[in-house]
């Protein structure tokens, strides 16, 4: 273990009612800001959304929930 290494994040369970197929990246029409989260077709919004600043943020989101990116 290095002096400046990041600790391994715990894998969180996928939120109840969602599956890996519900993950979606959306972008704001006005600002272009991108977010990733679990999309709910019932209320047409992202749940557990996080800001995406780089492709690494998308990879981190998948790793956070223990999902292999396709």
How far is CA 59 from its chain centroid?
8
Is residue 38 situated within a structural domain? yes
pLDDT at 6: 66
pLDDT grade for 24, boundaries at 50, 70 and 90: very high
Residue 10 has a pLDDT of 84
Q: Which domain holds residue 46?
A: 20-64
8 part of a folded domain = no
In-domain check, residue 53? yes
In the predicted model, what is the mean pLDDT of the chain?
91
Q: What pTM was computed for the model?
A: 0.81
Q: Is residue 1 part of a domain?
A: no
Question: Residue 27's beta-bridge partner residues?
Answer: 34
Q: How many domains does the chain have?
A: 1
> Does the residue 34 lie in any domain?
yes
Q: Is residue 49 domain-resident? A: yes
**pLDDT (0 to 100) of residue 7:** 67
């Amino acid at each position: 273990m290095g002096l400046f290494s990041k600790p391994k994040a715990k894998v969180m369970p996928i939120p109840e009612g969602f599956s890996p197929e519900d993950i979606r990246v959306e972008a704001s029409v006005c600002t272009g800001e991108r977010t990733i989260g679990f999309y709910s077709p019932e209320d047409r919004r992202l749940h557990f959304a996080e800001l995406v600043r780089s492709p690494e943020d998308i990879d981190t989101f998948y790793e956070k929930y223990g999902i292999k990116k396709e």
